[in-house]
Structure 1
Amino acid sequence: MTTAISAKEYNFASSRYKYIGVFEKERKDQHIDSTMGLRDFRKIIKQRWSEGYDISEIKYGSGNWIGVFTKTAKETHQTYVVARRWSGVNNILPEYWKKGYYVTSIEHGLSEWIVVFEKNTPYTNQAFERRKNLDDFYAAVENRWKEGFDLIDLEYGQGRWTGIFAEGTGYTDQAMIIRSRWSEIVPLIESYWAKGYRISNIESTLGKWMCIFSKSKGARGQGYETSPTVEALKEVFAERQEKGFKLTDLAEGW
């Protein structure tokens, strides 16, 4: 059964930022760290790697870089690149794919792209799509689905929506919904949970909320929490850790 930890809408002022944390019923050793400067954030990544934690999620919003780190097996290996323009990422992708790395996460903040690569994933192939127009992006996603790819991450930056796709994810089906208000997303989450889907990615940009739902065998109970600040998010994270939940995705919007 799907477990909704908290499915209520908080009465935050529309001008205030809020974070949406998606949690899954699985006990994992995780940490959440934040800082305002990218240079300091890179130091945090280096420190967590030295402690045996991998990057699970990166989010920039409201002046903060936030990282979620998960204790991982020794055979995994991560690296990342920072680029001013997507063309810089595009130029190195073939080289990283050739070495057995796949993109697992992308984030855009303060005119910088952070792209996380990982070895020893279940992925067997990868692609990306970038479109200026949202309708064109949705059409590109549908075409990739027809080709057997799954959408594993999406981000808006440099005037384009960017989607990262992979084969070998273990997903059996996906759906994407787009709405203008978070309040419109809430009932749809409930309906997709009832159909056996789980949230695999949420993004908020240019006045749009975009939610990716995925089906897979052995899906665990899922829920989400809204938090008005990074500090409140960290408190919620600690509470959910104690109850045996891991943080799987993070969105920032208002």
Structure 2
Amino acid sequence: MANNAYTISENLEEFGKQINADLSQGLDLIGTAYADGSWVGLYQDTLNSTGYATASSASELRQIVEQQWQVGGYRLTDVEYGDDGVWFGTFEEDDGANNYSIANSFTQLQEDISQLWDKGWELVDVEYGDGIWFGTYRDVPGGNNWASADNYGDFYQATQAMLNDGYDLVDFEYGDGIWFGTFQQDSSITSGFVVGNTFDELVANGQQYGNQGYEFVDFEYIEYSDGGWLGVMEKETPQNTAVGDALLPLKIANERAINEGLADVLYDYGSVDYYGG
């Protein structure tokens, strides 16, 4: 499995310079997150070729994506919404097909996902910003699924159910009070998530699983109660095997690492929606 690296900047222009420097050192950008005025970049030392683009609106980002379909070999893999209405797209050099959806409501997003599933597209990333749900899709093999909940406790239970059914968590988004997870059937990986009050705490909580071969593939700042971070981790595995409860999903060693606001709703279970394509 690849090794992670991170970069943090309070200025978007400086963030771009840091990314360019890291890319020149052989690292690949796989995702970004925005929180409290800071941009965070997530890298792996893989052999892929990655890049990025910024846009002032979801419509402008859509145009950039479509331009890459015509003139470049880069495909959108991750989207983040940040300060001053900036939409930040991460791209990977790939000859595979790419698609997107832009919805003005969560209900419309669900409809878009179903329609694109029917056409053979698989959901790989969801981002919420400025009242818009932006979905990213690829022509990747395997079954696709998603789950949503309105609190951490329900999302935890939904993730357990998905993992027990043979799906792996590959992406997480928190927006408009909704916890949203994207799942994929992939026998080559095992996945789960960890949480932390701060980004540094998130990374520290993930270290114990890093020793077991897990790496971060996505993280998200949660504007909930006092705020917090959730990171998706995965490791390569030869086949899907039964895993212990500690990995369904990943549990942090110290429950106090969940901030009090999240802990208050940890067992406040309600309705959970999860659908398969």
- Give the TM-score, by structure 1 length: 0.74
Contact 2:77 2:136 in 1 (8 A): no
Q: Secondary structure at the match of 1:28?
A: coil
Higher strand share: 1
Q: Which of residues 194, 204, 207 is equivalent to 1:190?
A: 207
Match of 2:192 among 171, 175, 183: 175
Higher RCO structure, 1 or 2 (CA under 8 Å, sep 6+): 1
- Work out the number of aligned pairs and report it: 210
CA separation of 1:3 and 1:178: change in aligned 2, threshold 3 A? closer
* Equivalent position of 1:84 in the other structure: 104
Out of 65, 68, 77, which is 2:90 matched to? 68
**Distance verdict in 2 for CA 1:17–1:103, change over 3 Å:** same
C-alpha distance in 1, partners of 2:102/2:6?
35
Q: SS where residue 141 of structure 2 aligns?
A: coil
Q: In the alignment, is the contact (CA less than 8 A) between 1:122 and 1:169 conserved in 2?
A: no
**8 Å contact kept, 2:151–2:178:** yes
The 8 Å contact of residues 76 and 90 in structure 2, kept in 1 or not, is answered as yes
What is the root-mean-square deviation in Å for CA atoms of aligned residues? 2.5
Q: Once the two structures are superposed, what CA deviation does each residue of 1:111-140 show, in whole Å capped at 9, x if it has no partner? A: 101111222x132x2221111111111111
2:128 and 2:9 map into 1 onto residues whose CA distance is: 27
> In 2, distance between residues paired with 1:57 and 1:21?
11
Matched, 1:103 2:120: no
1:1-254 alignment runs, 5 A limit? 3=3, 5=5, 17-50=37-70, 51-63=72-84, 64-73=86-95, 76-119=96-139, 121-123=140-142, 125-168=143-186, 170-171=188-189, 173-206=190-223, 207-217=227-237
Q: CA deviation at 1:11?
A: 10
What's the CA shift string for 1:168-207, capped at 9, x where partnerless? 2621x22311221122113223222111111121111111
SS in 2 for 1:196: coil
For 1:90 and 1:103, the matched residues in 2 are separated by 11
Gaps of 5+ in 2: 12-34, 239-277
Q: TM-score, normalised by structure 2?
A: 0.69
Partner-residue secondary structure (3-state), 2:166: coil
